[in-house]
Each structure stands twice: as structure tokens, then as C-alpha cells.
Chain A
């Protein structure tokens, strides 16, 4: 097991390095000078040279690259060109927003997707159930999250006035209250703040969760189909166990194992989804930060955001690999 874990880790390191190199070099061939973007077209050439020296852009590319790698390992992504303060601080502030969005949409996706996947696997011979469910899955897969987001905004925010149009609620406040212990002193204020965050979270989580539910339902469907074709299910049925018990007691538990592997896949899709979702709902978060940083040619900020995205995806996959080996010991011997 330890050997397996070490091998996985050793594969993940060059992968991360490669991915980070791709990020670094693509940011360097970006059209347009970040100093011009910062100071405007009218800046004198002296001022521009000064700016580029201050930002370290006049150093050889190899030096900048080595510097970037060394700093990234320590989560130091430099200073934002535009905002003037450390990128890691900015990312630290944005990360919770994206985290709660991913988690909330995961809940939505699981609540909608898993039952649908199971039902469509068990009822696959009943076209009245299987067909609508498959059509739903296809619609979910084809629905762009930004369009669904806009439709939800039109209906629930503009027409019915039930949910806010923009913003993410005072998540920073909630976190500060937990940290300072105020949450326990003033529980009423705390729950009001949490409620406000959830109020802002509802539509984005629903939009992202719905588009992810389609993927989850397909994976759940194939996991269930795989499980119910196993010998132990046949044995359970042969023993005369009632069908409901076969499903709930034998099949459901076992299908969770293959479903576990999709967490990695899921996080990757959800994180990408946040880029579009946060933009549509004008919510603070890593995705929106990335889009804004690209627009402002803020290299360190964009680079930091993409590096964090990649680290999270590779990290989650690594953890899932390990978890999978714990759940299914046969894996380590392959």
C-alpha cells in the first residue's frame, strides 16, 4: 500500500510540473504588455521600463520560470499587477466562495443524479421510465450552465423576485465569525449570515448542480448496471431475498465503490463549471477572478488561479486513487 501510494505521488509530481509549465509559458506569450494594460497607452517608455523592472519582467525567461516554480511550491504566486497585494491572499479570500459553490452543487447533483441513475438502471426495460430519464440526462448534458443560469435569473430573480441577481453573500463575515468564536456568542446573527450566504448560493448551485446531475446520473446508471449483473446479486435473489432488499442492501452499497472514483472527475467538471457559473451570477470566486484577471492581463493572478485549479484537480485525483486502493485492495497489486 505504501509503495502504491509512493508510486502515485511520484507520477503526480511530474504531472503537476508539466501542467504548471504549460500555464507559465502560455501566460508569457499573451498578447499585450501588462505594463501597458496597467498604465495605459500614454505611459512614457521610461515609466514602462520601470514598471517592467519592478514586476521582474525584464529578467531572462528561464529565471522567471525557475522563480515561478520555486515560489508556487510555497504557495507564493507573487503580487497582483492590478490590485497590488499578494495573489495568495486574494486566492485565499476567493477560495471559500468557490468551495461552497462546488459543494452545494455536488449536493444538488447527487440528490438529483443518483436516484435518477439508479431508477433508469433498474427500470431500463420500462420505456415509460427509461426514456424520459435518458432524455433528461441528455438535456442536462447539452444545457450550457451559463444559459441555464440566465434562465433561472430571469424567472426567479427578475420575474418572481425570490433570489438576488448578483453577489455571493457575506461569506467572509461568516468565516470571520467562526474564527473569532462570535458564532457561538451571537448564534442568531451567525445563522442570519449563513442564511444570507445560502440565499445567494441557491440559484448558482441549482444551475451548476443540474448540469452536473446529468453526468452523475449516467455514471450512477452504469455503476448500478455493473453491480446488478454480479454473481452475489444473483445469489441474493436465488436465496429468495425480496427485490427491494436486494437493491437497498446488496446493490446500493456496492455501487458506491465505483461511484467513489467519479469524485475526481466530478471536481474537475465542477471547478470548470464555476468559471462560467460565477461569471453569470456575478459571484466572487476563483473562476470569476480568473476571467477578470485574464481580461486585465494580470499574469500573476491568472497564473495563480490556474495553478490552484490544477493543483486541486491533481490533488483530488491523487486522494481518490488512494481511497480507491483502501476500498478495493486488489488495485495496489496491479
Chain B
């Protein structure tokens, strides 16, 4: 079925007729600098989330009656200002990283773990099983990611687990399709025929030969979908369908701050900036990895 859901950043392959002749330090830098920046940014986000209790200057829920809706630096200790309850924005943004990254990483892991075996099976076995898997995936594909996640999270209620499940399910068809197309190509290789001739069973062929050969491309795309997942989580939180307050998430900080954009734009500015930087970090890493993967770029 030619329904294509979204031109997600992960769509492979991008036709690219770039010249192959690159050499020297310039090429080396051009290739590794973006990936380095992306990895640094992503790592910084992950460290920030993991070390939130250590690096956050105060508790994200502590209310300071003496510092309500104060701008960045207006009150000692509140570097990014405070919200309507006098809560420290910096601390809330740091703690908000937890939900975003937990959902981002876990939902992609969930989609990966369920969809990749299904996709490989659909591509490798084909036939009726393949058709059933692909039709099911097409059906989910009819919904854009945010819409499907929104339906599921509405049905189940907003919580961390439900959000991971909802976004995970919404991302699944992308992985099913990619894994299927990779496995269709891989199964034609001589080494598969050789393994089969040696008596390897179907399960072994899929697990030991198809999967490892598809893994690199799958990981690249997974990185890009972490960005999509983080953006979707922020969207759900913003619509009030994410992890409920008082747990800070970037989306709900931003949504709460909407009422105060006239007097206190810093609340929305910094939480939105955090969302953008996190999404950007994973997009850069995924993009750079994809460039590395492109054989036309590797054959220097």
C-alpha cells in the first residue's frame, strides 16, 4: 500500500548523488564534527536527566512564595526565573529532561523490540504471515504518529507507562516496514544461501544472519525516531495528555507557561528551548550516522 505516513527524518534511503572524491583532514572533519556535536549534545541531555537530583539547584516542586513569576536572575539562585508558584524554572527544566528522555528512549526500544522481529519475519517468510503483518502495519500507518499516540493515550490515560506504550505503538509501523525491506534485500545474499545449505533453520537464519546485517541501518533510524518520540511526548504533554502534574515535563511546563506569556515569557522560552535542543541532538546524530551509512559517501 502506498500510504506513506510522514516523511520522517528516518526515511531510507535518501537518493544522494554526492561526489565520492573527498580526502584529507577537511573531509575527516566534515564527517566527524557534526556527529561529535550531536553525540555531545545527546550525551549532555542524558547526563542531565540521569543526574537531575545532583545537579538541579533546588527541588522542582519547591514553592518559593517570595519569588513568584520572577525573571531570569531577578532573584538570587533562580537563574532561569520562576513560575506562578515560585518554582525554579531551571530545576524544573532539568527534571523535565527525565520524562522526555525516558519516553524517547523507552518508546523507541519498545517499538524496536516488537516491530523489528515482525518486520524481519514478514520480509523473510513473506506469504500469508507477511501479508497479515504488513496489513496490520498499514492500518496503523494511516494515522500520523501524534494522532495515533493521542488516541491511545486518551484511551489509557496519561501516565509515563501509557505514554511510552502509545508512542511505541505509533512508531511500530515504521520499524516493521524498514526491517521488512532490509530483510527482503538481505535474504537474497549468498551468505544466506550458504547458511541454508549448511542446514541452518529459518529462525537461526533470521536471528543470526538477517538481524545482525540489518542492525546498523535499524540503529540509525532508531536514533532519528528518538527525536520524533521526544517531540511527540512534548506535544502530548503540551495538550495535557502526558504525565500529569506535578511531575515536571517540558511539555507541561510550556503549557502552564502559556497563560503568562505576556508578563513572563521565560517559562515557555526555556522549556521550549530544551525540547528543541533534545530533538536537535538526536536528529544530528541520526543524520550524521545516515551519511556515514550511505555507501556512496563511504567509498572514498
Contact = CB atoms under 8 A, between A and B. Distances in A.
Interface string B228-253: 00010011001111000000000000
Contacts of B258: 150, 280
A317 B280 contact: no
B144 A271 contact: yes
Contacts of B18: 124, 225
A30 B155 contact: yes
B40 to A, nearest CB: 15
A334 to B, nearest CB: 10
Contacts of B82: none
A276 B235 contact: yes
Contact of A138 (B1, B239, B280): B280
Contacts of A266: 7
Interface stretch (A98-106, A198-206, A306-314): A306-314
A265 B262 CA distance: 36
B7 A219 contact: yes
B182 interface: no
A141 B231 CA distance: 10
A138 B254 CA distance: 22
Given A151-B269, A154-B261, A272-B146, A15 B155 contact: no
Contacts of B9: 141, 218
A151 B280 contact: no
Contact of B279 (A16, A144, A271, A290): A144
A271 B273 CA distance: 24
Given A225-B15, A272-B147, A147 B135 contact: no
A246 interface: no
Interface residues of B, number: 57
A162 to B, nearest CB: 15
Interface string A139-153: 101111011001101
B17 A19 contact: no
A219 B273 CA distance: 26
Indicate the member of B142, B156, B273, B276 with the most A CB atoms within 10 Å. Answer: B142
A174 B87 CA distance: 46
Nearest to B277: A142
B268 A291 contact: no
Interface string A280-295: 1000000000110011
A27 B14 CA distance: 38
Contact of B139 (A15, A146, A151): A15
A306 B143 CA distance: 9
Given A150-B254, A158-B261, A279-B239, A16 B142 contact: yes
B155 A27 contact: yes
A29 interface: yes
B227 A15 contact: no
A264 interface: yes
Contacts of B144: 268-269, 271-272, 313
Interface string B147-164: 100111011110000000
Interface centre among B7, B150, B227 (most CB of A within 10 A): B7
Contacts of A264: 3-4
13 contacts: A22-B151, A142-B279, A153-B261, A158-B265, A218-B7, A222-B14, A228-B17, A265-B7, A268-B4, A275-B146, A294-B154, A306-B147, A317-B4
Interface of A: 8, 11-12, 14-16, 18-19, 22-23, 26-27, 29-31, 124-125, 127, 138-139, 141-144, 146-147, 150-151, 153-154, 158, 215, 218-219, 222, 225-226, 228-229, 261-262, 264-266, 268-269, 271-272, 275-276, 279-280, 290-291, 294-295, 302, 306, 309-310, 313-314, 317, 320-321, 324
Interface of B: 1-7, 9, 14-19, 30, 135-136, 138-140, 142-147, 150-152, 154-157, 227, 231, 234-235, 238-241, 254, 258, 261-262, 265, 268-269, 272-273, 275-276, 279-280, 283-284, 287
